[in-house]
């Protein structure tokens, strides 16, 4: 079978695994026996256009494609056709197409073949160069939602071991959610879910039970939990899922300092559409507080809409350093220096947006600015993609970025979701470079004193997450380090995580100094497996 | 060439029609009042249909506190270049009408009560 991601943390990914297993079973087995290749046999290094093989499916779909509103283009084809599509598409659009080992597409089931269509190189830290190569069932991927609305309890779970069995704690909660109604707060640990002990589960059934309980697929599901609150109280909670409204910008506060200056703090956890108006409100509030420094908490922000990152970077820095400068330049492989190979649109740099971009605020409105020469950023392994773009873009225009936290995830890359025959493929197609042409932070950003291995070094302090204090509490380990560094640029002993993805493996965590995975975004969800 | 000409004519007719109706309509931003299972189902159906039949998750209280409904992908990849869809609920000649701002499509809601925002 050869699937590298056998099990996952939510039902979407469980479905993916099922699809993968089914594909393996129906793919015709090993080498030989494949027919219907419109391009003839495999010739290493020779690639027909991907359109030659597109929508030629071993199991064609019928009806209307909800992603396009048009009938599915699928026609009867073979596994070999699907593999040839992926082979040609990857050769054309994959960022490191020249690092793919060209293999006979007739020898593999499609999921297995796709797994091989990527670079096998590693980074300086020893991590895979490509950590973001995955698939989704198309009918799941193309679903929509009201901005910020999802089925759940309104609790952001963090997997301290990155896998199950392992400890799971609450990172933060959404206001007016089932989680807050049941008294869950940051630092609460889930001990049992529907009768299964999380740190001792050892069967597939137990794993599935926990995943189903933690990640309800819809509203009005009731599941039973045993939780231990920060104070040590153990209690049983029965929670019913709801369509919860996410608040991407929270805890906007001004923190007075001994010198009389006020330091602003904002917890920004997702680049979703509603974040645009949330950030504008936050910046206006911070302006009213008269802040002289800002701490942006990105530790659980896996990214999202890149234009919102551009807006926020501009709101932090103001017009001075950003006028006429590049927020981010998208770079595709060397076959496509001037045109986006997926959309066909001419490439042009993304500027620092000075006005609203029609996400949740009316388009064209001037954005407020803080005009700060520096910003403190709280980070962790879940700080990813568009969040890293905020850091990188500001560094690109010489705004000082001071990083307090663990190494970020290292994803300067992006892709266009590509459906073929019911599976949506994600293969890295571009990277983002800042105004100075820098975009090589595959190992993430690490604070200066991060223990090796580290990523691209940014001034600041390596500090582990602290679940024993609320976000925005000046006593919380990362925020406290930022406030102290502001007064005197020294650091506590490094405690942050590096590289991302290597988590503790034993139970009994010190919740005041530990990191974990918050499986929010799709690729995050792909990476939580049963140990 | 022939097909282009036909499309141009059709497009012009649609455009002129839209201009004419816009001239006489008085759209007032509105909110849903007293949502019911039927009105929620209608809203879900209209939004999904407008967006090609894709499955959509919408809150039970959608459009009850605001006239704007923003729809985005359920899953984001982290570095997303797209934009969301916007639906505006308006009162138009005493009717509740949902306007898809990206396409200017207008859909009358028959199961929904609304009031000016």
- pLDDT of res. A15: 29
Q: Are A521 and B75 within 8 A, CB to CB?
A: yes
**Residue B67, domain extent:** 26-116
pLDDT digits (tens, 9 = 90+) for A388-410: 999 999 999 999 999 999 999 99
Q: Are A521 and B77 within 8 A, CB to CB?
A: yes
Are A408 and A458 found together in one domain?
yes
- Closest in A143, A147, A150 to B54, CB measured: A143
CATH code of residue A296:
3.90.226.10
Q: Give the gap in angstroms from C-alpha A62 to the nearest C-alpha of chain B.
A: 14
Provide DSSP, B1-23: -HHHHHHHHHHHHHHHHHHHHHH
CATH code of residue A197:
2.30.42.10
- pLDDT of res. A26: 29
Are A186 and A202 found together in one domain?
yes
- Closest in A141, A358, A389 to B75, CB measured: A141
- pLDDT of res. A507: 65
Of A181, A182, A178, A159, the residue nearest A170 (C-alpha):
A159
Are A167 and A276 found together in one domain?
no
| Average pLDDT of chain B to the nearest whole number | 83
Tokens found for residue A442: 């595959």
Which H or E element spans position B107? strand B105-108
A172, part of any domain = yes
Q: Is the separation of the CB atoms in A190 and A168 below 8 Å? A: yes
Are A256 and A384 found together in one domain?
yes
Of A496, A273, A517, A525, the residue nearest A377 (C-alpha):
A496
- Closest in A146, A273, A384 to B78, CB measured: A384
Q: In the A/B pair of chains, how many CB contacts fall below 8 A?
A: 135
Provide DSSP, A175-186: TTSHHHHTT--T
Q: Considering only alpha carbons, which residue of chain B is nearest residue A275?
A: B70
B3, part of any domain = no
| Set of chain B residues whose Cβ sits within 8 Å of the Cβ of A360 | 68, 70, 84
| Average pLDDT of chain A to the nearest whole number | 89
Give the integer Cα–Cα distance in Å for A100 and A94.
9
Q: Are B78 and A302 within 8 A, CB to CB?
A: yes
Q: Are B75 and A143 within 8 A, CB to CB?
A: yes
B17, part of any domain = no
| Set of chain A residues whose Cβ sits within 8 Å of the Cβ of B86 | 358
| Set of chain B residues whose Cβ sits within 8 Å of the Cβ of A243 | 57-60
pLDDT at A509 over 80: no
- In the predicted model, what is the mean pLDDT of residues A456-470? 97
- Helix axes of A306-317 and A386-396: crossing angle, nearest 10 degrees: 40
A336, part of any domain = no
Question: Helices (H) and strands (E) in chain A — how many of each?
Answer: 12, 29
**Residue A221, domain extent:** 149-245
| Set of chain A residues whose Cβ sits within 8 Å of the Cβ of B62 | 146, 149
Q: Considering only alpha carbons, which residue of chain A is nearest residue B69?
A: A146
- In the predicted model, what is the mean pLDDT of residues B67-77? 95
- pLDDT of res. B38: 97
pLDDT digits (tens, 9 = 90+) for A137-195: 999 999 999 999 999 999 999 999 888 999 999 999 999 999 999 999 999 999 999 99
pLDDT digits (tens, 9 = 90+) for A262-272: 999 999 999 99
Q: Are A522 and B59 within 8 A, CB to CB?
A: no
Query: Using 50, 70 and 90 to split pLDDT, how confident is the model at A77?
Result: very high
Tell me the backbone φ, ψ of residue A234, rounded to 5 degrees: -100, 130
B7, part of any domain = no
Domain count, chain B: 1
Which residues of chain B are at the A interface, by a Cβ-Cβ cutoff of 8 Å?
48, 51-60, 62, 68-86
Pairing of strands A293-297, A262-268: parallel
Q: Are B79 and A306 within 8 A, CB to CB?
A: yes
B51, part of any domain = yes
A347, part of any domain = no
pLDDT digits (tens, 9 = 90+) for A325-343: 999 999 999 999 999 999 9
Q: Are A144 and B80 within 8 A, CB to CB?
A: no
Q: Which of A201, A221, A245 is the last residue of a domain?
A: A245
Q: Are B84 and A273 within 8 A, CB to CB?
A: yes
Q: Considering only alpha carbons, which residue of chain A is nearest residue B53?
A: A66
- pLDDT of res. A452: 87
Spatial neighbors of B49 by CB under 8 A, at least 6 apart, are none
Q: How far is CA A251 from the centre of its chain?
A: 22
Q: Give the gap in angstroms from C-alpha A142 to the nearest C-alpha of chain B.
A: 7
Pairing of strands A134-137, A155-159: unpaired
Q: Give the gap in angstroms from C-alpha B16 to the nearest C-alpha of chain A.
A: 25
- pLDDT of res. A5: 32
Of A415, A505, A422, A510, the residue nearest A133 (C-alpha):
A415
| Set of chain A residues whose Cβ sits within 8 Å of the Cβ of B55 | 66, 139, 143-144
Identify the sign of the CA torsion A3, A9, A13, A17: positive
Are A256 and A194 found together in one domain?
no
pLDDT at A44 over 80: yes
The sheet carrying A293-297 orders its strands as A249-256, A262-268, A293-297, A374-379, A400-405, A460-461
A278/B25: higher pLDDT: A278
- Closest in A272, A413, A432 to B72, CB measured: A272
Are A320 and A388 found together in one domain?
yes
Q: Are A66 and B55 within 8 A, CB to CB?
A: yes
Give the integer Cα–Cα distance in Å for A58 and A76.
6
Residue tagged 């307090």 (tokens): A404
pLDDT digits (tens, 9 = 90+) for A475-500: 999 999 999 999 999 999 999 987 65
Domain count, chain A: 2
pLDDT at A473 over 50: yes
| Set of chain A residues whose Cβ sits within 8 Å of the Cβ of B53 | 64, 66, 69
Are A367 and A290 found together in one domain?
yes
Strands (E), A302-422: 304-305, 326-331, 350-351, 374-379, 400-405, 413-414, 418-420
A185, part of any domain = yes
Spatial neighbors of A249 by CB under 8 A, at least 6 apart, are A266, A267, A268, A269, A275, A278, A279, A281, A282
pLDDT digits (tens, 9 = 90+) for A81-139: 999 999 999 999 999 999 999 999 999 999 999 999 999 999 988 889 999 999 999 99
| Set of chain B residues whose Cβ sits within 8 Å of the Cβ of A413 | 79
Are A368 and A445 found together in one domain?
yes
Q: Considering only alpha carbons, which residue of chain B is nearest residue A426?
A: B77
Q: Which of A190, A218, A245 is the last residue of a domain?
A: A245
- Closest in A66, A144, A415 to B72, CB measured: A144
Are A318 and A465 found together in one domain?
yes
Give the integer Cα–Cα distance in Å for A213 and B38.
29
Q: Is the separation of the CB atoms in A378 and A407 below 8 Å? A: no
Are A205 and A277 found together in one domain?
no
Of A219, A207, A265, the residue nearest A245 (C-alpha):
A219
B19, part of any domain = no
- pLDDT of res. A22: 27
Q: Which of A245, A275, A295 is the last residue of a domain?
A: A245
Query: Using 50, 70 and 90 to split pLDDT, how confident is the model at A31?
Result: very low
Tell me the backbone φ, ψ of residue B69, rounded to 5 degrees: -120, 120
| Set of chain B residues whose Cβ sits within 8 Å of the Cβ of A150 | 57, 74
A325, part of any domain = yes
- In the predicted model, what is the mean pLDDT of residues A61-66? 89
Give the integer Cα–Cα distance in Å for B26 and B92.
6
- In the predicted model, what is the mean pLDDT of residues A290-319? 97
| Set of chain B residues whose Cβ sits within 8 Å of the Cβ of A329 | none
Q: Are B72 and A307 within 8 A, CB to CB?
A: no
A524, part of any domain = no
Q: Which of A144, A175, A308 to mutate to test the interface with B (most CBs of B within 10 A)?
A: A144
| Set of chain A residues whose Cβ sits within 8 Å of the Cβ of B81 | 305-307, 414
- pLDDT of res. A163: 86
ipTM of the complex: 0.88
pLDDT digits (tens, 9 = 90+) for A187-237: 999 999 999 999 999 999 999 999 999 999 899 999 999 999 999 999 999
- Closest in A12, A151, A360 to B57, CB measured: A151
Ramachandran region, residue A220 (left: φ > 0; alpha: ψ -120 to 50; beta: rest): left
Give the integer Cα–Cα distance in Å for A468 and A169.
11
Angle formed at CA A376 by CA A372 and CA A380, multiple of 5 degrees = 145
Percent of chain A residues topping a pLDDT of 90? 82
- Closest in B54, B57, B79 to A385, CB measured: B79
A477, part of any domain = yes
Q: Considering only alpha carbons, which residue of chain A is nearest residue B102?
A: A358
A190, part of any domain = yes
Tell me the backbone φ, ψ of residue A139, rounded to 5 degrees: -65, -25
Q: Is the separation of the CB atoms in A216 and A205 below 8 Å? A: no
């Amino acid at each position: 079978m050869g699937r590298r991601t056998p099990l996952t943390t939510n039902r979407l990914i469980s479905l993916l695994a099922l699809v993968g297993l089914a594909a393996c079973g129906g793919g015709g087995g090993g080498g030989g026996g494949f027919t219907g290749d419109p391009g003839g046999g495999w010739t290493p290094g020779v690639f027909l256009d991907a359109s030659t093989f597109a929508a030629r499916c071993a199991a064609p779909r019928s009806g209307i494609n909800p992603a396009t509103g048009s009938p599915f283009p699928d026609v009867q084809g073979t596994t070999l056709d699907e593999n040839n599509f992926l082979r040609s598409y990857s050769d054309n659009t994959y960022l490191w197409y020249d690092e793919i080992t060209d293999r006979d597409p007739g020898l593999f089931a499609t999921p297995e073949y796709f797994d091989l269509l990527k670079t096998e190189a590693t980074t300086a830290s020893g991590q895979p160069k490509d950590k973001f190569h995955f698939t989704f069932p198309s009918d799941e991927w193309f679903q929509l939602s009201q901005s910020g609305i999802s089925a759940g309890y309104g609790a952001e779970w963090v997997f301290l071991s990155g896998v199950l069995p392992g400890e799971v704690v609450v990172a933060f909660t959404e206001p007016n959610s089932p989680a807050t109604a049941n008294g869950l707060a940051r630092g609460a640990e889930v001990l049992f879910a529907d009768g299964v002990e999380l740190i001792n589960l050892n069967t597939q059934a137990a794993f599935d039970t926990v995943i189903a309980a933690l990640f309800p697929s819809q509203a009005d599901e009731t599941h039973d939990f045993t939780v231990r609150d920060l104070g040590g109280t153990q209690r049983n909670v029965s929670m019913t899922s709801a369509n919860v409204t996410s608040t991407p910008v929270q805890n906007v506060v001004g923190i007075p300092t001994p010198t009389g200056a006020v330091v602003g703090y904002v917890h920004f956890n997702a680049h979703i559409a509603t974040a645009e108006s949330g950030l504008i409100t936050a910046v206006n509030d911070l302006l009213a507080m008269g802040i002289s420094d800002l701490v942006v908490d990105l530790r659980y922000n896996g990214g999202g809409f890149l234009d919102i990152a551009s807006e926020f970077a501009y709101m932090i820095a103001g017009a001075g350093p950003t006028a006429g400068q590049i927020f981010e330049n998208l770079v595709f492989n060397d076959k496509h220096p001037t045109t986006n190979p997926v959309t066909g649109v001419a490439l042009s740099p993304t500027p620092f947006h000075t006005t609203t971009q029609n996400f949740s605020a009316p388009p064209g409105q001037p954005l407020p600015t803080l005009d700060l020469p520096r910003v403190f950023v709280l980070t962790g392994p879940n700080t990813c993609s568009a969040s890293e773009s905020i850091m990188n873009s500001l560094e690109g225009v010489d705004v000082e970025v001071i990083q307090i936290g663990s190494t970020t995830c290292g994803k300067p890359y992006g892709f266009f979701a590509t459906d073929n025959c019911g599976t949506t493929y994600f293969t890295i197609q571009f990277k983002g470079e800042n105004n100075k042409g820098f975009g090589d932070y595959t190992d993430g950003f690490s604070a200066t004193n991060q223990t090796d291995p580290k990523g691209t070094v940014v001034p600041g302090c390596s500090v582990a997450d602290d679940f024993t204090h609320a976000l925005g509490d000046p006593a919380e380990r990362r925020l406290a380090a930022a406030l102290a560094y502001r007064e005197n640029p020294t650091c506590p002993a490094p405690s942050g995580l590096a590289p991302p993805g290597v988590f503790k493996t034993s139970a009994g965590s010190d919740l005041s100094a530990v990191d974990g995975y918050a499986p929010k975004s799709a690729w995050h969800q792909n990476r939580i497996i049963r140990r | 060439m022939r097909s282009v000409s036909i499309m141009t004519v059709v497009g012009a007719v649609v455009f002129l029609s839209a201009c004419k109706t816009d001239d006489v309509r008085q759209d007032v931003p509105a909110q849903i009042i007293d949502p019911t299972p039927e009105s929620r189902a209608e809203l879900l159906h209209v939004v999904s249909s407008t967006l090609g039949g894709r499955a959509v998750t919408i809150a039970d209280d959608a459009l009850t506190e605001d006239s704007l409904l923003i729809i985005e992908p359920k899953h984001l990849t982290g570095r997303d270049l797209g934009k969301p869809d916007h639906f505006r609920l308006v009162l138009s000649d005493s009717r509740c009408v949902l306007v898809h701002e990206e396409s200017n499509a207008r859909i009358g809601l028959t199961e929904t009560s609304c009031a000016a925002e």
